[in-house]
């Protein structure tokens, strides 16, 4: 397996990857749950508190201006990375909050009884439950696009739904956290636009795997979490097209999001401030900006090719193991492998792998409807980032082989 990308070089940027557990070097293969952080992010957060900490949008003194400048810079860095404007970037806690914001602000006010929101079988709970809340509040209906045998989206079923005039909004993941399926969002958005359907993309699992151009995708909303893209926890982004954001009421009320307040009435600041009530997560935004700047130092196309090579190598090794089934074989899938082994509970697999220093996730991955569709309650999941190595994949396959042998 050869690619032009050298994971050993980038690994030096991630101090946690040098750790050992139970005398074995850590093989961190749970990147879909959260990614590890490079020194640039850790330093940016520490330096903010060492040198620049003050509240933003308030002080007129030099220190506050320094904090404000860093905060504004972070928003610009993120907007440039996504090829959109800074005022279309709203800082939130993560993908979950971003999707709730769209549901409660846009959908709750623009949709009504009988209007249909379309989701897919492969959605994370964060892209199901917010719409169910709106359903209770407004009487909208929810329709679900099924998936095919290999884990791809059933595009014919989607097209039939998009033809129905009651369908007003489509919200789907870019990349499935459980199956690794990559949905062709540019084509799907183009099709939805022809029917005047508003499009929401859950980008939680696509953002770490390569460049994202939102002008090209042309979706109305795009949500992601900082912690999945080598940034800190507790910060995320909702991108919204300027004209849609301008037509949305605030999601929460408080300081920082107003134009003028009296006890009788309040007028609101324009987006994005309108949606950022209260003191923001300044160090989170700065850390996320640093993560995106770090990505800017890498060849993301080569990094993605390296991840694909890892995926292929792992798939070949794992498919050869007795009783092991990989769930999700969509063409062009991302570097996520959900699997089960006959007669071994996924939690036991993860426990055996942990003894070898290998970290993977097990469970329903917050996708209970998908698990039900697969006829499962849980899977084991290995998910790769560009800093993972062929050697780590080999260790995974060997440890799985050993685990299976123990149960035979």
Closest separation in Å from C-beta 108 to ligand C6P: 20
219 catalytic residue (yes or no): no
Residues 199-218 that bind ligand C6P (CB under 6 A): 202, 204-205
Which one of 276, 365, 374, 386 is in contact with ligand C6P (CB under 6 A)? 365
- Verify binding: residue 32, ligand C6P, rule CB under 6 A: yes
Q: Compare residues 52 and 152 and give the one whose CB is closer to ligand C6P.
A: 152
Judged by CB under 6 A, the number of residues near ligand C6P is 17
177 near ligand C6P, rule: CB under 6 A: yes
Q: Which of 37, 75, 108, 124 is the binder for ligand C6P (CB under 6 A)?
A: 124
Residue closer to ligand C6P by CB (options 124, 333) is 124
Nearer to ligand C6P, 349 or 404 (CB): 349
Residue span 130-159 as binding mask against ligand C6P, x where in contact by CB under 6 A, dash where not: ------------------------------
Q: CA 140 to CA 131: how far, in whole Å?
A: 9
| Nearer Cβ to ligand C6P (73/125) | 125
- Exactly one of 10, 17, 29, 33 binds ligand C6P (CB under 6 A); that residue is 33
Nearer to ligand C6P, 32 or 400 (CB): 32
Q: Which of 179, 318, 358, 366: binder of ligand C6P (CB under 6 A)?
A: 366
Q: Is 94 in the site for ligand C6P (CB under 6 A)?
A: yes
Residues forming beta bridges with residue 325, ordered by sequence position: 340
- Contacting range for ligand C6P; rule: CB under 6 A; set: 48-56, 94-102, 185-193, 214-222: 94-102
Whole-number Å distance between alpha carbons of 153 and 119: 11
Catalytic residue from among 173, 219, 366, 367: 366
Q: Indicate which single residue of 82, 84, 126, 189 sits in contact with ligand C6P (rule: CB under 6 A).
A: 126
Closer residue to ligand C6P in complex, CB, 153/404:
153
Closest to ligand C6P by CB, 67 vs 128, is 128
Stretch that binds ligand C6P, among 79-87, 124-132, 350-358, 397-405 (CB under 6 A): 124-132
Q: Least distance from C-beta 284 to ligand C6P, angstroms?
A: 12
Among residues 173, 154, 155, which one has the least CA distance to residue 95?
A: 173
Q: Does 225 bind ligand C6P (CB under 6 A)?
A: yes
Q: Over the chain, what HEC string results?
A: CCCCCCHHHHHCCCHHHHCEECCEECEECECCCCCCCCHHHHHHHHHHHHHHCCCCCCCCCHHHHHHHHHHHHHHHHHHHHHCCCHHHEEEECCHHHHHHHHHHHHHHHHCCCCCEEEEECCCCHHHCHHHHHHHHHHCCEEEEECECCCCCECHHHHHHHHCCCCEEEEEEECECCCCCCECCHHHHHHHHHHCCCEEEEECCCCHHHCCCCHHHHCCCEEEEEHHHHCCCCCCEEEEECHHHHHCCCCCCCCCCCEEEECCCCEEECCCCHHHCCCCCCHHHHHHHHHHHHHHHCCCHHHHHHHHHHHHHHHHHHHHCCCCEEEECCCCCCCCEEEEEECCECHHHHHHHHHCCCEECEEECCCCHHHHHHHCCCCEEEEECCCCCCHHHHHHHHHHHHHHHHHHC
Residues that bind ligand C6P (CB under 6 A): 32-33, 94-96, 124, 126-127, 173, 177, 202, 204-205, 225, 361, 365-366
Q: Which residues are catalytic?
A: 366
């Amino acid at each position: 397996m050869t690619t032009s990308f050298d994971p050993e070089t980038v690994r030096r940027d991630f101090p946690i990857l040098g750790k050992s557990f139970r005398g074995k070097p850590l093989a961190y293969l749970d990147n879909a749950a959260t990614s590890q952080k490079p020194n640039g992010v850790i330093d940016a957060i520490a330096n903010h508190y060492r040198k620049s900490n003050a509240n933003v949008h308030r002080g007129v003194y030099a220190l506050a201006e320094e904090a404000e400048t860093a905060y504004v810079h972070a928003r610009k860095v993120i907007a440039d990375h996504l090829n959109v404007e800074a005022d279309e970037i709203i800082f939130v806690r993560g993908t979950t909050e971003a999707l709730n914001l769209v549901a409660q602000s846009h959908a709750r006010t623009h949709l009504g009884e009988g209007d249909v929101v379309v989701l897919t079988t492969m959605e994370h709970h964060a892209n199901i439950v917010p719409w169910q809340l709106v359903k209770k509040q407004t009487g909208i209906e929810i329709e679900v696009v099924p998936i095919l045998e290999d884990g791809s989206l059933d595009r014919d079923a989607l097209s039939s739904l998009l033809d129905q005039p009651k369908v007003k909004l489509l919200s789907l993941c870019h990349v499935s956290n459980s199956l690794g399926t990559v949905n062709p969002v540019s084509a799907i958005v183009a099709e939805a636009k022809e029917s005047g359907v508003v499009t929401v993309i859950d980008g939680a699992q696509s953002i770490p795997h390569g460049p994202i151009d939102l002008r090209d995708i042309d979706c109305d909303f795009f949500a992601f979490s900082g912690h999945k893209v080598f940034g800190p926890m507790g910060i995320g982004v909702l991108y919204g097209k300027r004209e849609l954001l301008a037509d949305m009421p605030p999601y929460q009320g408080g300081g920082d999001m107003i134009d003028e307040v009296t006890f009788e009435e309040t007028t609101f600041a324009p987006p994005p401030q309108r949606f950022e009530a209260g003191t923001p997560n300044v160090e989170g935004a700065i850390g996320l900006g640093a993560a995106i700047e770090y990505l800017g130092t890498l060849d993301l196309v080569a990094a993605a090719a390296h991840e694909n090579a890892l995926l292929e190598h792992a798939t070949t090794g794992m498919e050869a193991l007795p009783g092991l089934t990989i769930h999700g074989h969509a063409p062009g899938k991302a570097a996520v492998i959900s699997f089960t082994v006959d007669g071994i509970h996924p939690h036991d697999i993860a426990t055996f792998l942990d003894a070898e220093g290998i970290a993977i996730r097990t469970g329903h991955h917050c996708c209970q409807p998908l698990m039900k569709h697969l006829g499962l309650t849980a899977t084991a999941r290995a998910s790769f980032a560009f800093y993972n190595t062929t050697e780590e994949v080999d260790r995974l396959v060997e440890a799985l082989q050993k685990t299976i042998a123990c149960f035979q």
